[in-house]
Chains A and B, each alone.
Chain A
Amino acid sequence: PHFIIPVPKQNDTICFNVDERPGVIFNLVRDPLTGITVNGQTIGDKKIDPNKKLNTYFGRFGIVNEKLGLKLEVTTRSIEITSGKEKMAFTWSDTVSMKQRSFALQINKERNLVVMMGDSVQFVIVLHRVWKDHPFHQDYLGFYTIDSHRLSSKTHGLLGQFYHDLSFEVGEIHQGTDPEKPDAMMMIKGQELTVTRGWQRDYREDIKHGVQVPCWFVHHNGTGLIDGVHSDYIVSGIF
């Protein structure tokens, strides 16, 4: 999966990929103050093209709001909501708007799911449908956080650690291995990294083609950018 981290103060964006074996569950967001946790499980391609590297995507997300007693499990096939003792299940072919006391949810048929926790953060899960007879690829999901600053400054996780202040410096821009993608040096969190100018895609508006977001790409699973290494974020269960 590719991670996009906007840095609005600097009007720029950082991005990185995380490659791990299919089935691994990552903690993406954990806010001890609001009780919100988001975990995501990776899936791989249906079968591996021997000439290409293994691609992984997110195929399942678990969102928990402990304070509201709310659990949401989203896969490429279904959306299950547990609110206290009540349980509801929908598919991606449903169009649903739902509001309970401190929670609002909207399923836009075959497209995306928007979930809002009180006046707090808003999460958007995008469904990517892949031709069902595609020899390699299968359906997968994308995860977007809007108004992430509304979560507490204690928020952590593979994504959550970037919800608050982040600053960096880029210099020594020079030609990289790809003539269209210059390399540069990035100073971030007191470390010096080699980064490459590239772009990633934001699929919220145009689910088929996405919108290109220019960004500084951090190599090696975001090592140096993220706190620790990516395997530190592996957890045992979706909730």
Chain B
Amino acid sequence: SSDPQAVFDIEIYSLKVDCKVTSRFARSVITSRVVNRANVSREVFFDVDLPKTAFITNFSMVIDGLTYVGVVKEKAAAKKQYQQAVSQGQTAGLVKASGRKMEKFTVSVNIAATKKVTFELTYEELLKRNQGQYELLIRVKPKQIVQHFEINVDIYEPQGIRFLDAHGTFVTNDLTQLIEKTVTETKGHVSFSPTVDQQRSCPLCQTSTIDGDFVINYDVNWDTPAGDIQILNGYFVHYFAPTNLKRLPKNVVFVIDQSTSMMGTRIKQTKEAMLAILADIHPDDHFSIISFDSTVTKWKPSIIEATAENIEAAKQYVNSLYARGWTNINDALLEAISMLDEAMKQHTLTEHSISLIILLSDGDPTKGETNRAQIQSNVKNGIGGKYPLYCLGFGYDLDYSFIEKMALENHGVARRIYEDSDSALQMQGFYDEVASPLLSQIELKYPENGVADLTERSFQQYYNGSEIVVAGRVTGNELDAYNMEVIAKGAEGDLFLKNQRKEQDQEKTFEDPQYIFGEYTERLWAYLTIQQLLSKRVSGTPEEKANNTARALELSLKYNFVTPLTSMVVTKPEDTLDSTMLADKLTEAESRGPPQDGQAHRVSSSPQSNYHYASRYIPPVTSVDGD
């Protein structure tokens, strides 16, 4: 707020963040209690940043003893029903993009003099294992000192917790000791509850020093090579992340955009990232570089070994890149495919190696084939399922859905590289994720009569430090579900793993109900199924898209998830035209566009739970300022 008085009129007397993680499935509940101490009504804002990967499942406001609950509805129906709210465009939306990892849920409500309000938001997500650890991110930024501030995280991992680390980007040395951490074999507890004085940014200040991310990193034990299966309430989840495997050599073709739009920082950071990536390429690997603008330039005619001399020569080539011309993505990608095809034909690649293409581009195709659908089709036909394609898109003005579809159709992923001082690190970080493949053509097999409604169970690659998760419904004898097998190709030939776990081990696993929420297997299955169906909508045929959409929608409604297909309708207790608002789930493509100046300010001043007064009366302002 720009009104200092409002900060004192509105008091946040409690802000509680409560997270429970059961086998990577996290449920976070943010509860905030506020009182309006003014003798006039005030508009109170509740701003929460939640991870992009999370689905909102519940929202409620309790005002003057009455509870107002958000209702999840099909997006189209919600919009039609609440046309009035939608007609206000962006302002009707409660969820907005907020930086790289988060999105922001904001709701405001008018509170009468001396009245209280309680907000509660719940969201769920499956934590993703990345480079050997899971990360739970909680963004906290209260606008003012909070009487009762508390973060509580309970983690329950039946496999056993290998390590658990908690830190806050805002935590100074004085506050470090306030982070309490308890870890037993399978349970972890983290709490952070600074007093009013410990929150103060200066002795007389009402502003809080709590401003940033509270991050919990942990990993689990991987004792069973075939992974860990958990069965509860008729649903099972299989976690597979084998360790101690020899890495597979890889053959990678880097396809680098050097068109005019890359001029300046983008090409500089691309070069910086490529130099770091080249320095990390394993000597067993093969690689090549293709740069493109209006035309396509091959650094070498074929893919070559990553010897020290070749790496040095590649660095020199990267250093020589400069931005010029138009953007010919089509020919560049077809050239990369052809280079890998030729190497396969000539048998110049290491046995049991895997091949991949990494595209880095910032722009729309403007030269050669410019029809995006045709480029996607050409690339898909050219690759023919042989190599995954990873697409890194540079900047906000990128057509993300174009590269996303291309990546998903070819067993890869797309990633937006945010234009910032650390863009080079983002590119390098992505490469690190795929730098160490351990397995290829992985297939997880379950007894045909024992399980149903399986999520994806075939995977092109498994990378060191990541994790494969498969979930499904148990239809037969529960014990049958444990009889699973994994078939894959490793560095030393075909790999065959069978679950060795003894049945009696399972009985002990879930004996402590206070640490888990019982339906987590089912909700995790639903979450994963919806995520995968949504991905298939990007790349499938029209008929597949329709079927996948219908199924994803059905599950979203059944499990009360706010997904890109549903909206949460929030009705405010005000008899005004704008009293109904919609909380939508944004897709990466929808969240394009850099933060505007005004938005950036809101982000910078918006707390985890932010309350401020917005004046409806705009008084005349007499001023003097610069020209």
| A97:B620 contact, CB within 8 angstroms | no
A55 to B202, CA, bound (A): 38
User: Smallest CB–CB gap between A24 and chain B, Å?
Assistant: 14
Select A124's contact among B2, B201, B206, beta carbons within 8 Å: B2
Task: Flag A181-214 by CB within 8 Å of B: 1 or 0 each.
Answer: 0000000000000000000111111111110000
Query: Which residues between 1 and 54 of chain A lie within 8 Å of chain B, taking CB atoms?
Result: 1-8, 17, 28, 40
B577 part of interface (Cβ distance < 8 Å): no
Known interface pairs A97-B205, A98-B205, A111-B601. Does A106 touch B2 (Cβ–Cβ under 8 Å)? Answer: yes
Contact of A206 among B3, B597, B623 (CB under 8 A): B597
Q: Could you tell me if A140 and B597 are in contact, using CB atoms closer than 8 angstroms?
A: no
Q: How far is the CA of A95 from the CA of B202 in the complex (A)?
A: 10
Residues of the A chain whose Cβ atoms lie less than 8 Å from the Cβ of B204: 88, 98
Which residue of B2, B4, B201, B205 has the most chain A CB atoms within 10 A of its CB atom?
Answer: B4
Q: Are B623 and A205 in contact (CB under 8 A)?
A: no
Asked if A70 is at the interface of the complex by the 8 Å CB criterion, the answer is no
B87 within 8 A of A: no
- Total contacting residues, chain B, CB less than 8 A: 28
Cβ of B611 to closest chain A Cβ, rounded Å: 12
B144 — which chain A residues lie within 8 A by C-beta? 97
A115 vs B3: C-alpha distance when bound (angstroms) = 9
- Decide: B623 and A145 in contact? CB cutoff 8 A: yes
For B1, B144, B206, B620, which residue has the most chain A Cβ atoms within 10 angstroms? B620
- How many angstroms from the CA of A148 to the CA of B622 in the assembled complex? 8
Choose among B7, B8, B598, B621 the residue with the greatest number of A CB atoms under 10 Å from its CB. Answer: B621
Our pick among B2, B4, B206, B625 for the contact of A201 (Cβ within 8 Å) is B625
A71-106 CB contact bits vs B (8 Å, 1 = yes)? Answer: 000000000000000001000001111110000111
Cβ-neighbour of B622 out of A106, A162, A207, A208 (below 8 A): A162
Q: Which of B574-627 contact A (CB under 8 A)?
A: 597-598, 601, 604-605, 619-627
Residue B207 CB within 8 A of the other chain: yes
Indicate if A62 sits at the interface (CB-CB under 8 A).
no
Task: Indicate whether A114 reaches chain B with its CB closer than 8 angstroms.
Answer: yes
> Once the chains are docked, how many angstroms separate the CA of A126 from the CA of B626?
10
Contact indicator B604/A109 (Cβ below 8 Å): yes
How many angstroms between the C-alpha atoms of A126 and B605 in the bound complex?
16
Task: Tell me if B5 counts as interface (CB < 8 A to partner A).
Answer: yes
Residues of A within 8 A of B621 (CB): 4, 6, 144-146, 202, 204
Please report the total number of A residues contacting B with Cβ < 8 Å. Answer: 59
Closest chain-A Cβ to B447's Cβ sits at a distance in Å of: 59
Please determine whether A55 and B627 come into contact, CB atoms closer than 8 angstroms. yes
Across chains A and B, which 10 residue pairs bring their CB atoms closest together, nearest first? A142-B625, A6-B620, A106-B4, A104-B4, A97-B206, A144-B623, A57-B626, A97-B207, A8-B620, A145-B622
A17, A126, A143, A149: the one within 8 Å of B627 (CB): A17
> When the two chains form the complex, which single residue of A58, A108, A209, A210 contacts B624, counting CB atoms closer than 8 Å?
A58
Q: What B residues does A216 contact at CB under 8 A?
A: none
Per-position 1/0 for A108-143, Cβ under 8 A of B = 110110111000001010101000000000001011
Q: For the complex, what is the distance from the CA of A96 to the CA of B202, rounded to whole Å?
A: 8
State the majority secondary structure of interface residues on A.
strand
Q: Is the CB of B624 within 8 A of A112?
A: no
A1 touches B624 (CB 8 A): yes
With the chains together, A98 CA to B623 CA distance in Å?
24
Q: Which residues of A contact B604 (CB under 8 A)?
A: 109
Of all chain A residues, which has the CB nearest B209? Answer: A95
A19 and B375 CA atoms in complex are apart in Å by: 61
Given the interface pairs A95-B201, A108-B2, the reply to whether A126 lies near B598 with Cβ below 8 Å is no
A residues within 8 A CB of B207?
Answer: 95-97
- Is A147 touching B619 in the complex (CB atoms < 8 A)? yes
Residues from chain B with a CB closer than 8 A to the CB of A28 are 624
Residues of B within 8 A of A163 (CB): 622
Q: Could you tell me the distance in whole angstroms from the C-beta of A13 to the nearest C-beta in chain B?
A: 9
Give B3 Cβ to nearest chain A Cβ, in Å: 7
Residue interface bits B1-21, CB-to-A below 8 A is 1, else 0: 111110110000000000000
Contact of B623 (CB < 8 Å), options: A3, A147, A209 = A3
If A108-B605, A207-B597 touch, whether A99 touches B4 (CB-CB below 8 Å) is yes
Candidate in B5, B202, B624 with the most chain A CB atoms within 10 angstroms: B624
Q: Knowing A104-B5, A108-B605, A206-B598, say if A96 contacts B205 (CB, 8 Å).
A: yes
Alpha-carbon distance A202/B621, docked complex (angstroms): 9
Contact call A6/B626, Cβ cutoff below 8 A: no
Contacting residues, chain B, for A144 (C-beta < 8 A) = 621-623, 625
A140 with B4: in contact, given A8-B620, A98-B206, A208-B597 (CB under 8 Å)? no
Query: A109 vs B598: C-alpha distance in the bound complex, in angstroms?
Result: 14
A2 close to B597 (CB less than 8 A): no
Question: B625 and A99: CB pair below 8 A?
Answer: no
Mask of B175-193 contacts with A, CB within 8 angstroms, 1/0: 0000000000000000000
> Measured between C-beta atoms, what is the minimum distance from B386 to chain A in Å?
50
Query: Mask for A134-171, Cβ within 8 A of B = 1, else 0?
Result: 00000010111111110000000011001100000000
